[in-house]
Amino acid sequence: MRRAEPWLPLGNFMNDFFGNYPDERPALLQDPIQEPAEPTEDEHRWAVFCAASVEYLCQKYDLEIPAWVTELAYAPLPEPWYHSKMAFKPAVQARLERETPAAFTRYNIYCGNRVFVNKYELAAELRERQSA
């Protein structure tokens, strides 16, 4: 049986965090990621990515980082994970290393600086610029 990809739950989380429930952000981050009893390498990487994401979002929005983020289960990955279809290219790896926020690089994850772009904030900034 094929296990589910993380994109749908991550997208739902982003909609809740940025748009649907921005006043409930601390509550949205409190529960730890639940890995399967025997996670695949990919599932474990995604769990660590989620922990790094929570750390990043807490830093960005001045929220307290939940204790679960620092648990050993979410320790930095043993090998760098470059999350890009073109990550096999050294130039792409170098760009990801330069642009990825520290909350991700601490976990040995390189995903660039646009992974959690808030479309609601971008739209508000655009409206503000257009009205100026």
Tell me the per-residue pLDDT of 28-45, one tens digit each, with 9 for 90 and over: 999 999 898 999 999 999
What is residue 53's predicted lDDT score, i.e. its pLDDT? 96
Residue 4's pLDDT band, with cuts at 50, 70 and 90, is: low
Residue spans of the domains in the chain: they are 7-29+39-131
Q: Is the pLDDT of residue 3 over 70?
A: no
pLDDT tens digit string along 60-118? Answer: 999 999 999 999 999 999 999 999 999 999 999 999 999 999 999 999 999 999 888 88
Task: Read off the tokens for 50.
Answer: 């989620």
Q: Per 3-state DSSP, what percentage of the chain is helix, strand, and coil (rounded to 5)?
A: 60, 5, 40
In 3-state terms, what secondary structure has residue 20? helix
Phi, psi for 81 (deg, rounded to 5):
-115, 110
* Cβ neighbours of residue 60 closer than 8 Å, sequence gap 6 or more: 116
